[in-house]
Amino acid sequence: MNRLVLIDGNAMMHRAYHALPPLTTPDGKPANMVYGFVSMVLRLHHALKPSHMAVAFDRPGPTFRNKLFADYQIQRPKAEDDFVSQIPMVHDTARAFGIPAYEADGFEADDVIGTIAKAVQHTGIDQVIIVTGDRDILQLVKDEKVMVYMPTKGLSEGKVYGEKDVVERMGVAPSLIPDFKALAGDPSDNYPGVPGIGPKTAVTLLNQFGSVEAVYKGIQGKKHTITDTIRIKLTAGKKSATLSHELATIRTDAPIKFNESSAHITTFDTAAAHEALEALHFPSLIRRLSGEMPPAQKKKQLAEKKKKEESDSHQQALF
């Protein structure tokens, strides 16, 4: 299978930065985020066995969402200096590993990912697995063609989401996540949603009507079962719902062109990768370039193997 692992660079940089304690190179430069990012890339390559890999990054400066809504993500704190200083190092290391990076002015990494996921549907790529911690990207999940890998424990464990998994987590199908955000809003991105409509009510409405558009058509009829209280809130918040839906919808028309051949990955055990990690003084990661497991993962696997052998031996003794 030709499998493209598509990494949400900004989401994973934040996760790496906050998951690891401070770490510096011998010349005093902060490097914990770079270390975590590379460690995650090596783990993904080992676990998901992609034939292709690429990474998408945000560009500095406002996006179309900021133009639509001035308070978009306004509550998010400014990135720390140690975080910002490592961004070019992550870009350089990805390049040394042969992983192409994509970004577009005015668009977020999410939109770049959405554009690539759509573009490869008619190419030699059989499956896309998006790596992110951002729940908005779950809207891109489609059959077995597009799935999402979300870390669940630091950088070491994760879960792959298909359509059923999205419904179990969000209460609605992947395609209805923008509709869910349109009604319930999203504090993390500061989507306003409809004031007074919470997640449970949003899920109930969408399961009953099928979409935000259908909800608003439904409350105009005489046979709907929506209470007057909910109807009044929906009517008053219609403009906000429309705006939130547009903010939450991942675009698939970012001005980029995906190059399938440049994303082809066979091994990271290359001279360029060795040189990059040697420059950062990451000997433990250099040892993993050949496919060696991280010590903690190897220890866990050996423990599970020993447990299975003991169980099998016990079963044989019984019979």
Q: What is the distance, to the nearest Å, from the Cα of residue 296 to the centroid of all Cα atoms in its chain?
A: 24
**What is the structure's pLDDT at 67?**
92
In a domain, 237, yes or no: yes
**Phi and psi for 67 in degrees, rounded to 5?**
-75, -35
Strands 3-8 and 146-153: unpaired
pTM, to two decimals? 0.88
CATH number of the domain at 100, please: 3.40.50.1010
Q: Note whether 78 and 179 are same-domain residues.
A: no
Q: What is the DSSP letter of 130?
A: E
> What is the rounded average pLDDT of the residues 287-314?
63
In this predicted structure, which of 57-66, 175-184, 213-222, 233-242 has the lowest mean pLDDT?
A: 213-222
If one counts the domains in the chain, the total is 2
**What is the structure's pLDDT at 153?**
74
Residue 249 pLDDT level (bands cut at 50, 70, 90): very high
Q: Note whether 240 and 138 are same-domain residues.
A: no
Q: Note whether 46 and 154 are same-domain residues.
A: yes
Residue 2 pLDDT level (bands cut at 50, 70, 90): very high
Q: Between the CA atoms of 275, 41, 95 and 272, what dihedral angle is there, to the nearest 10 degrees?
A: 20
Q: Note whether 209 and 85 are same-domain residues.
A: no
Q: Note whether 28 and 143 are same-domain residues.
A: yes
In this predicted structure, which of 53-57, 87-91, 305-309, 314-318 has the lowest mean pLDDT?
A: 314-318
| Residue at token pair 């692992």 | 5
**Cα separation of 294 and 102, whole Å?**
28
- What's the domain range around 265? 3-163+252-285
> Which residues are 147's β-sheet partners?
129
CATH number of the domain at 215, please: 1.10.150.20
**Cα separation of 258 and 246, whole Å?**
25
Task: List, in order, residues 6 or more apart from 171 with CB less than 8 Å away.
Answer: 180, 199, 203, 207
Q: What is the DSSP string of 207-268?
A: HHHSSHHHHHHHTTSSS----HHHHHHHHHTHHHHHHHHHHHSPPS--S----TGGGB-S-S
Nearest residue to 181 (alpha-carbon basis) of 164, 162, 206, 158:
206
Q: Answer yes or no: is pLDDT of 314 > 90.
A: no
Task: List, in order, residues 6 or more apart from 283 with CB less than 8 Å away.
Answer: 277
Residue 157 pLDDT level (bands cut at 50, 70, 90): confident
**Cα separation of 151 and 141, whole Å?**
16
Tokens read off for 29: 């430069």
Q: Answer yes or no: is pLDDT of 308 > 70.
A: no
**What is the structure's pLDDT at 295?**
53
Residue 318 pLDDT level (bands cut at 50, 70, 90): very low
Angle, alpha carbons 238-239-241 (nearest 5°)? 65
Average of per-residue pLDDT values in the chain: 90
Q: What is the pLDDT of residues 41-74, one digit of tens each?
A: 999 999 999 999 999 999 998 999 999 999 888 8
Q: Where would I find the H helices in 6-100?
A: 9-19, 32-48, 64-68, 81-96
**What is the structure's pLDDT at 224?**
67
Cβ atoms of 257 and 218 within 8 Å: the answer is no
